[in-house]
């Protein structure tokens, strides 16, 4: 990708939303933080690290002499779980609810900080009894239930390294992750509840560990009570954990002691084990959770809808919120079980004040119709967050209006598994946010948009997003493959971290993420973001969701192919494809008109809700379908490719 002027700001977004005076007056962080961090970046992070409870103070904030391998808070020691649990209890907040758990079938649990500490202590004692020690790897393959949080924290408490594998992954995906990390224990459950039924987990574990000689035990939580075939490796959680003492004396670990590995897809078939360590990770998770969500531990009820299988679940369900002493909601199931208003019902029930979710969910709710959230109060909400992919202005506005009733700041937060914590986001009490823009790097973070040659682009220009300074929660490498770490992130320009995302700066210098670099299309020499075209399509009243890919085209280099889901109940024009092409031409320009538009009922999504554009490109380019096993619903692709074969081309 080059940064010639053809990478235009095709969508002209002029709307701005400032926080209310009341919100700003009570905000945790003011605009002064930017200046403070700019003047003394390391001093700023020192101050944030003091949010945590350290056993031994650090003697050096950052050691970058082994770049790109960072050490933060060098010489400091801590136990991450002491900052997340013990100190809240010691401060007299043991009775505060840490977790309101809502199971999909409607079962609930209220877990106080004192109770959570007791459960983590028991689990830590049990892990020790099972022979797990500091540095050992533990794979966690669980549904979204409190034991998942307990299992992660129990590992952290004894210095074991957790590797959470999303419960929707296959046996083979689990096996390869266990194998790569050489895990000696797997923590799982009989099953969990999804879409109104008990879904088994244990059979996938049995299949995976059959080929993993490093695994010495499988610790099984009873969640659903379904039949489980026990093997020699298996021990029930209730047998081994429940009989343990409810206290546990925590050891302290080096600030750079590994905390977790989390696998994420790269450009090759082999997932990368992203490695995070302790002091720096927790510092930035806690600070960003405080600053971006404006968390008030005494009064807020916070809900991040991510599964713990993803980094958002690590940083903004487990570590950030608990370090800050938050009260949060954890929900096990899907948003449409037993009805499409389940989330809004949960928000009213627990008086949730901060909601953090993903654009894909927001667009799904748009598709289901405004009347569903309108049937609930939602008055407790005071802040809304978004993460995971670019949020199109239309979805941003819908979220702000239909969920936030026009009086909640919306924070679009950009970050990655690799960054560990939020990097680019509005500050809710400070920023006049623009729908669809993640706005600015947070205080203490250096981000720029650069050209092919690594030179910063000027306002109005586009290029590659890079991170210019090391940050506390940065990945410390790829497990077992440090060369791949250097090659993937630090070789394009050795002085910058290459995030793999395209971005542009608007005339005010605010950042707009354009998606992964390989999602930027080139049509007749014009660079057009799939996100911009999708955004335009979704702005049409008949469209609920859209995915756009660039397909190879003999004439124009790439041609735009759009897959759209129509909004139920909307007025659908007879020739919808022609109308939508005209609409995109009006919204962006004739250059952005999709060559083909295919109306579909579903889009191929990973289980984390990301649209698999690669598969759509396969279909658009009439290629044999690639691997569909990571899709939430593999059958979707057959329907789409059949539809494509029957579709017509329009020029």
Distance, CA of 214 to chain centre: 30
Beta-bridge partner residues of 359: none
One symbol per residue from 472 to 501: x for binding ligand PRX (CB under 6 A), - otherwise; what is it? ---------------------------xxx
The correct pick among 58, 287, 399, 414 for binding ligand PRX (CB under 6 A) is 414
Question: Is there binding between residue 417 and ligand PRX (CB under 6 A)?
Answer: yes
Among residues 160, 261, 275, 282, the alpha carbon closest in space to that of 219 is found at 160
> Looking at beta carbons only, is 438 or 549 nearer to ligand PRX?
438
Q: Taking CB under 6 A as the rule, does residue 312 contact ligand PRX?
A: yes
In the shown chain, the binding pattern of residues 361 to 390 toward ligand PRX, with x for contact by CB under 6 A and - for none, equals: --------------------------xxxx
- Does position 264 bind ligand PRX by CB under 6 A? yes
**Contact string (CB under 6 A) for ligand PRX, positions 394-413, x = contact:** ------------------xx
Site pattern 575..614 for ligand PRX (x: CB under 6 A): ----------------------------------------
Pairing of strands 410-413, 161-164: unpaired
Q: How far apart are alpha carbons 494 and 13 in whole angstroms?
A: 34
- Residue 579 has phi, psi (to 5 degrees) of -65, -40
What's the min distance (Å) between Cβ of 512 and ligand PRX?
9
Token reading at 496: 């910058």
Find the shortest distance in angstroms from Cβ 166 to ligand PRX.
Answer: 11
Answer for the pair 265, 457: CB distance below 8 angstroms, yes or no. Answer: no
- Answer for which of 323, 438, 467, 547 binds ligand PRX (CB under 6 A) is 438
Least Å distance between CB 136 and ligand PRX?
25
**Nearest to ligand PRX of 160, 262 (CB atom):** 262
Q: How far is 177 from 165, CA to CA, in rounded Å?
A: 8
> CB of 315: closest distance to ligand PRX in angstroms?
8
List phi, psi (to 5°) of 100: -95, 110
Any contact of residue 104 with ligand PRX (CB under 6 A)? no
Tokens of 176: 């390869």
DSSP states of 339-377 as a string?
Answer: STTHHHHHHHHHT--EEEE-HHHHHHHHHH-THHHHTS-
Element (H, E) at 41: helix 41-49
| Candidate residues 29, 154, 240, 311; the one interacting with ligand PRX per rule CB under 6 A | 311
Torsion angle of the four alpha carbons 303, 305, 310, 312, in this order, in degrees rounded to the nearest 10: -40
Residues linked to residue 503 through DSSP beta bridges, in sequence order: 463, 513
> Applying CB under 6 A, does 326 fall inside the site for ligand PRX?
no
Q: Using CB under 6 A, which of 356, 415, 471, 489 touches ligand PRX?
A: 415
**Structural contact between residues 215 and 186, judged by C-beta atoms closer than 8 angstroms:** yes
Query: Which of 62/410 has CB closer to ligand PRX?
Result: 410
Q: What share of the chain is helix, strand, coil (3-state, %, to 5)?
A: 30, 25, 45
Of 503, 502, 596, 485, the residue nearest 549 (C-alpha)? 596
Q: Which is nearer to ligand PRX, 412 or 587 (CB)?
A: 412
Residue nearer to ligand PRX on the CB measure, 447 or 566: 447
Question: Can residue 351 be called a binding residue for ligand PRX (CB under 6 A)?
Answer: no
Residue closer to ligand PRX by CB (options 158, 520) is 520
Residue 79 Cβ, how far from ligand PRX at the closest point, in Å?
26
Select 121 or 357, whichever has its Cβ closest to ligand PRX: 357
* Helices 32-39 and 41-49, axial angle in degrees (round to 10): 110
Report the residue number, 3 or 473, with the smaller CB distance to ligand PRX: 473
Residue 359 beta carbon to ligand PRX: minimum distance, rounded to whole angstroms: 8
Strands 253-254 and 77-78: antiparallel
Q: Pairing relation of β-strands 185-189 and 137-141?
A: parallel
Q: Is 360 in the site for ligand PRX (CB under 6 A)?
A: no
Signed CA dihedral, 296, 300, 305, 307: sign only: positive
Residues 512-571 that bind ligand PRX (CB under 6 A): 513, 515-516
Where do we find the tokens 């992964």? 516
Residue 492: CB atoms within 10 A of its CB come to: 16
Task: State the nearest-atom distance from the C-beta of 276 to ligand PRX, in Å.
Answer: 12
What is the closest distance, in whole angstroms, from the C-beta atom of residue 155 to ligand PRX in the complex? 21
Taking the complex as a whole, the smallest distance from the CB of residue 229 to ligand PRX amounts, in Å, to 34
Q: Which is nearer to ligand PRX, 219 or 447 (CB)?
A: 447
Q: Are strands 462-467 and 447-450 parallel, antiparallel or unpaired?
A: antiparallel
559: number of Cβ within 10 Å:
23
Residues in contact with ligand PRX, counted by CB under 6 A, come to a total of 20
Contact 610, 389 (CB under 8 A): yes
Considering only residues 340, 416, 488, 529, which one is a binding residue for ligand PRX as defined by CB under 6 A?
416
In the numeric block, the tokens 């995906």 are attached to: 173
CB of 334 to ligand PRX, least distance (A): 19
Q: Output 360 or 417, the one with its CB closest to ligand PRX.
A: 417
Smallest distance, Å, CB 407 to ligand PRX? Answer: 22
Strands (E), 253-400: 253-254, 258-264, 272-277, 301-304, 327-331, 354-357, 383-387
> Which residues in this chain contact ligand PRX in the complex, by CB under 6 A?
264, 311-312, 387-390, 412-417, 438, 499-501, 513, 515-516
């Amino acid at each position: 990708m080059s940064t010639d002027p053809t990478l235009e700001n095709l969508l002209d977004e002029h709307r701005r939303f400032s926080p209310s005076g009341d919100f700003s007056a009570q905000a945790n962080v003011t605009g002064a933080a930017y200046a403070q961090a700019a003047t003394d970046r390391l001093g700023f992070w020192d101050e944030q690290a003091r949010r945590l409870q350290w056993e031994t103070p650090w003697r050096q904030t950052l050691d970058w002499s082994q770049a790109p391998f960072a050490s933060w808070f060098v010489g400091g020691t801590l136990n991450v779980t002491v900052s997340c649990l013990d100190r809240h209890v010691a401060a007299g907040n043991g009775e505060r609810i840490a977790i309101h758990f809502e199971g999909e079938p409607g079962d609930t649990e209220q877990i106080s900080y004192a109770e959570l500490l007791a459960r983590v202590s028991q689990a830590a004692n049990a892990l020790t009894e099972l022979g797990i020690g500091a540095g050992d790897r533990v794979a966690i393959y669980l549904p979204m239930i409190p034991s998942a949080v307990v299992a992660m924290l129990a590992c952290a408490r004894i210095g074991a390294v957790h590797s959470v594998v999303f419960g929707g992954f296959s046996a083979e995906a689990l096996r390869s992750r266990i194998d790569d990390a050489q895990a000696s224990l797997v923590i799982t459950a009989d099953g969990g509840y999804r879409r109104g039924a008990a879904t088994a987990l244990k059979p996938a574990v049995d299949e995976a560990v059959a080929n993993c000689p490093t695994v010495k035990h499988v610790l099984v939580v009873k969640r659903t009570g379904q039949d489980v075939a026990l093997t020699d490796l298996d021990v029930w959680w209730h047998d081994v954990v429940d009989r343990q003492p409810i206290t546990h004396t925590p050891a302290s670990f080096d600030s750079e002691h590994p905390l977790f590995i989390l696998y994420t897809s790269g450009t090759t078939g082999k997932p990368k084990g992203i490695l995070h360590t302790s002091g720096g990770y927790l510092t930035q998770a806690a600070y960003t959770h405080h600053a971006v969500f404006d968390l008030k531990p005494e009064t807020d009820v916070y809900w991040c809808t991510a599964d713990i299988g993803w980094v958002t679940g690590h940083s903004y369900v487990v570590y950030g919120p608990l370090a800050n002493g938050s009260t949060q909601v954890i929900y096990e199931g899907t948003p449409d079980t037993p009805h499409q208003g389940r989330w809004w019902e949960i928000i009213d029930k627990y008086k949730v004040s901060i909601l953090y979710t993903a654009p894909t969910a927001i667009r799904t709710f748009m598709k289901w119709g405004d009347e569903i959230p309108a049937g609930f109060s939602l008055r407790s909400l005071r802040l809304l967050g978004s993460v995971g992919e670019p949020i199109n202005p239309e979805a941003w506005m819908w979220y702000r209006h239909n969920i936030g009733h026009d009086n909640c700041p919306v924070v679009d937060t950009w970050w990655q598994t690799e960054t560990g914590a939020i990097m680019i986001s509005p500050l809710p009490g400070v920023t006049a946010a623009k729908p669809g823009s993640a706005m600015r790097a947070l205080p203490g973070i250096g981000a720029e948009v650069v050209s092919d040659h690594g030179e910063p682009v000027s306002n109005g220009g586009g290029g590659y997003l890079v991170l210019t300074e090391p940050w506390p929660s940065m990945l410390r490498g790829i497990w077992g493959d440090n060369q791949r770490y250097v090659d993937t992130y630090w070789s394009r320009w050795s002085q910058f971290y290459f995030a793999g995302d395209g971005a542009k700066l608007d005339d005010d210098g605010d950042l707009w993420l354009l998606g992964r670099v390989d999602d930027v299309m080139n049509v007749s020499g014009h660079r057009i973001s799939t996100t911009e075209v999708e955004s335009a399509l979704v702005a049409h009243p008949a469209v609920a969701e859209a995915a756009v890919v660039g397909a190879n085209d003999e004439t124009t280099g790439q041609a735009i192919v759009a897959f759209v889901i129509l909004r139920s109940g909307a007025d659908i024009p007879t020739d919808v494809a022609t109308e939508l092409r005209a609409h995109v031409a009006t919204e962006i320009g004739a250059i952005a008109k999709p060559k083909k538009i295919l109306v579909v009922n579903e889009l191929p999504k990973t289980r984390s809700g990301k649209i698999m554009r690669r598969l759509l490109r396969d279909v658009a380019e009439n290629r044999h379908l690639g691997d569909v096993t990571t899709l939430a619903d593999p059958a979707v692709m057959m329907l789409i490719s059949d539809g494509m074969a029957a579709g017509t081309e329009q020029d």
